[in-house]
């Protein structure tokens, strides 16, 4: 009987402690939300050597499509292999109101590591950038994903200042997500949020459909 009472007291104490910790956590979160009250679009850069940069961008696309937001997606490096996001945006997203063919564009030359032709790559990058630039001026878009854009800056396929200017001059309400390794300090400086994804690769498992591509 005594032991039972002790157990009950222990449990009460634990619950009390937990309640206090959670209260503190909630106050912290609330304060953070309170202090961040500027209503405008954000520029997110998802970078680092880890996996999940593009996935994270496409997760935001899914989220925005949930709200029937107008979403634009431009992919600057297209693998030779078909990707799940490609099929989704081409075939499934047409089921959604508000997502049209013009909202999705891919650089058409295949993986840049496969082409090994700098002049052709630059041409393709310029053409693709023209599509992105147009989206960045179009205030119907709530969210624009510029997938793997950083490589175009890193390889000097695109003029950095031109890219930064378009991002800077975008409509105030538009959020933009840029993915890819590197991209330079000026882009990170301009960003509201930089997420660096570090990757701890472990087992020798083959890249998998629906997970990796």
Task: Kindly list the strands in the beta sheet with 71-75, ordered across the sheet, starting from the edge strand earlier in the chain.
Answer: 43-47, 175-179, 143-147, 71-75, 104-106
Residue 186 binds to a copy of itself (criterion: CB under 8 A): no
State both tokens at 75. Answer: 């992919």
Q: Which stretch binds a copy of itself (CB under 8 A): 1-9, 83-91, 101-109, 123-131?
A: 83-91
Number of residues that bind a copy of itself (CB under 8 A): 86
Supply the DSSP string of 109-149, one letter for each residue. Answer: T--HHHH--HHHHHHHHHHHHHHHHHHTT-TT-SEEEEETH
Question: Which of 102, 117, 159, 169 is close enough to bind a copy of itself by CB under 8 A?
Answer: 117
Identify the CA nearest to 176 among candidates 198, 156, 150, 152: 150
Residue 168 binds to a copy of itself (criterion: CB under 8 A): no
State both tokens at 71. Answer: 């979403």
Rounded-to-integer distance, Cα 43 and Cα 105, Å: 20
Min dist. Cβ of residue 67 to a copy of itself (A): 5
Residue 100 binds to a copy of itself (criterion: CB under 8 A): no
Q: Which of residues 7-36 bind a copy of itself (CB under 8 A)?
A: 14-15, 18-19, 22-23, 25-26, 29, 33, 35-36
Q: Which stretch binds a copy of itself (CB under 8 A): 56-64, 102-110, 129-137, 162-170?
A: 56-64
Q: Which stretch binds a copy of itself (CB under 8 A): 2-10, 127-135, 162-170, 195-203?
A: 195-203
Do 129 and 161 contact (CB within 8 A), yes or no?
A: no
């Amino acid at each position: 009987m005594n032991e039972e009472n002790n157990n009950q007291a222990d449990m009460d104490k634990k619950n009390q402690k937990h309640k206090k910790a959670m209260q503190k956590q909630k106050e912290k979160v609330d304060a953070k939300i309170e202090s961040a009250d500027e209503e405008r679009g954000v520029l997110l850069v998802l970078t680092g050597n880890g996996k999940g940069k593009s996935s994270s961008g496409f997760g935001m696309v899914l989220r925005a499509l949930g709200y029937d937001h107008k979403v634009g997606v431009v992919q600057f490096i297209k693998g030779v292999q078909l990707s799940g996001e490609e099929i989704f945006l081409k075939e499934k997203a047409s089921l959604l109101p508000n997502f049209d063919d013009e909202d999705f564009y891919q650089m058409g030359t295949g993986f840049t590591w496969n082409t090994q032709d700098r002049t052709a790559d630059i041409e393709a990058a310029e053409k693709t950038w023209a599509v992105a630039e147009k989206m960045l001026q179009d205030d119907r878009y709530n969210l624009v994903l510029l997938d793997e854009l950083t490589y175009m800056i890193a390889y000097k396929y695109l003029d950095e200042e031109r890219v930064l200017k378009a991002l800077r001059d975008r409509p105030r309400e538009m959020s933009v997500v840029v993915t890819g390794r590197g991209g330079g300090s000026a882009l990170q400086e301009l960003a509201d949020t930089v997420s660096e994804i570090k990757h701890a690769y472990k087992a020798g498992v083959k890249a998998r459909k629906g997970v990796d591509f």
